[in-house]
Structure 1
Amino acid sequence: MDDTTVDWGLDAERIAVLLAPLRRRTATVQEKSVQGKSMHAKSEQESVEAARAPTQDELFARVLWSVVVEPGDSVAGLLVQALGAVGAARLLLSQPTPEALVQALGSELEHALELDDAQHALGRWAPRLRGGDVVRALESAARCGAHLLVPGDPEWPLAVDDLGIHRPHLLWVRGTVALLARPSVAVVGARAATGYGEHVAMEFAAGLAGRDVAVVSGGAYGIDGMAHRAALASGGATIAVLAGGIDRLYPSGHEALLTRISQQGALVSEVPCGTSPTKWRFLQRNRLIAALARATVIVEAGYRSGALNTARHADTLSREVGVIPGPITSAASAGCHRLLRSGGAQCVTSVPEVMELAFGGDAVLDLGDAGTPDSAREPAAHTRVLDALRPRRAQSIAELSREVGEEESRVRAALGSLELDGRAALTPGGGWVRARS
């Protein structure tokens, strides 16, 4: 294997076999990215992409770090930042002393790592430094069709680099990897959501999906699940960030939903396949949700809700935080109102306001007059599709696309939103009709 120069203490051929299917995506993307260009330009582009592509050693070193450390480990982050993933992994495998660990960081970062911190870090890493665990993680990843995404890949979401030394060493992804580079907004909230919260989450997620914004959430019960479902129903993109491995769909009650997301969207985790979700990993997962999204919208949150943890991460990363107010008598919205009182978030009451919060002047908004009803402010495609629907004769998406003059993806997104509003209905035969009022 020509790009393996480090003796990792494992069979090099075995490593190659395990990593091959996880790397194939990068080559495919590179080939597609240069289609339509001249042979000379194609050759230049391929050379640039090849230079940026991670080596076998880089991939394996980052997998090793992903297995050995917990998400957000700052000492590991410092080492990788100073020595590179391969250099840091080689140092780790040499079983260094705490003094050697501090010295390896050099004079610039010497004061960032105390001797006690180095000793504690080595103590928590040593029990996990087992080659068998790395092999099992790679085998599980290959079985579930995962992709390894590392810094420097064309689809690596640059936004997560704002996490600094706490950023993931790599991301394990199932589904459409390119979604991670799409403009996105996080929609999160309480697991024990009320009917009001679920309805609002679905409306906002469908509205964002209809504007080509990826909806990011955590795949949990309540608000998260409703946001994912609405984005999928609208034909939009959604990303579920998991606290455990992407091969362990949790919660089990959302197995069907998460499987669908893996087929039509993306499942993402920074922990290796086979890892169980824990309370700590849920809290660390929240920082990744906040980092991926341009803004975080809290739909419902109790006074001590985990959604508030996501909001704090977003604020730390200088991301915008929007809060949807609820009834003052609802305990499910107590955390939302607490955020609004503290001045740590902005009140949002419509999808256009979320777009303005997340994208500012980049957003194409039609805010209308203050007294304009919601139906007058919805996307034009929604209005045209609704006008084209018949109450008794079912129409296919292809028929509606021809009639309203919109591409099928936008018609599908409009139908999903109209269905959520109760204005369109899908017949058993697969056609669409106007819902009876």
Structure 2
Amino acid sequence: MLSNVAKSVGQRNLFGKLKTLSSQQQNGFASEATFETRAFKLHNLEEGPSTKVTVTKEDALKYYGQMYMIRRMETAAGNLYKEKVIRGFCHLYSGQEACAVGMRAAMRPEDSCITAYRCHGWTYLMGVSPQAVLSELTGRSSGCARGKGGSMHMYGRNFYGGNGIVGAQVPLGVGIGFAAKYNGTQGACIALYGDGAANQGQLFEVYNMAKLWNTPCIFVCENNGYGMGTSAERASANTNYYTRGDFVPGIWVDGMDVLAVREATRFALEHTSSGKGPILMETATYRYSGHSMSDPGTSYRSRDEISEVRQTRDPITSLREKILTTELSTVEELKEMEGKIRAEVDTATKHAKADKEISVEELTADIYSNPQNLTTVRNTLPLSELAHKRLGKAVNM
């Protein structure tokens, strides 16, 4: 039986009636709960993931903490950019956290991921510390790419970036999946792109290649509604992106529900790892910020639209409601977690501002994988500052 606190949370829920199917109690608190997700839409599939989703208390708190961490990191990044500590490009992931956290929850140790330039959250989820992510953003030597990658070029184990060219990461993802098949690792690659990249010809070329070779690759279109400042409806004749693989099966999933994304990704991984070839997944999501920090994000959409999504579909608040309504946790426990995360991000932010900036010598490091017979960089003198210096060990491996 739910407590009065949980009942009151359910009554003030902003996300409609929560479809809670059951919860198991242990020591007065729920150890797990089962929910009903929105229906998945299918293309060229006879059956899809189950809409009945069970989550343990441990996993629910883990997902909540990860999404909250990404939101705080992106808020910190936005502030650092406004302070002109971060220079260059900066694309924030706020609002889309359930996509990355849900997919990461379903991934196995042998799986890989590659994405575009909105990659800070993914870098953290793939094992890089918040401090290394924020230090990379500020161009410091303790950054995960030694300050040379910046916002769009971050990497980790089994994480191939962070890529700055729109859509170019998708063919690379097929190559990573092909390598997994060739080497017999049993792994698959998740290749993410946005609705803005979905009309590029290279995507349709690699759909064909991946299906022709039955490559273990999951194409994921994170449809946040806008490609830069152009709405999906103005850019695409067919906005059902999960159907655009033609002969490649597809799934549509509510990208604001971390549990639905997890289940869809589990289904997709099982499909592609069993030799059936690639699969396409569309996550319907929303970004709160503009395309990048130079875009206020309000010239092509209204503030009321953004506010409505925040109030009715926010992925973090939605999971919080589920956790409290089913008594998987308490308000006090969540507040304690949030406080620890805020403190960790604050400390990481201070480090990212105080750490030393990279030197000119870094420009000549890590250029060649085997520099023994290569002592110079082309068009420079052997003794100049731009002569090749060293090959450094990856700082985040």
TM-score normalised by the chain length of structure 1 = 0.28
| Larger helix share, 1 or 2 | 1
Structure richer in strand, relative to its length: 2
Provide TM-score, normalisation by structure 2. Answer: 0.30
Larger radius of gyration, structure 1 or 2? 1
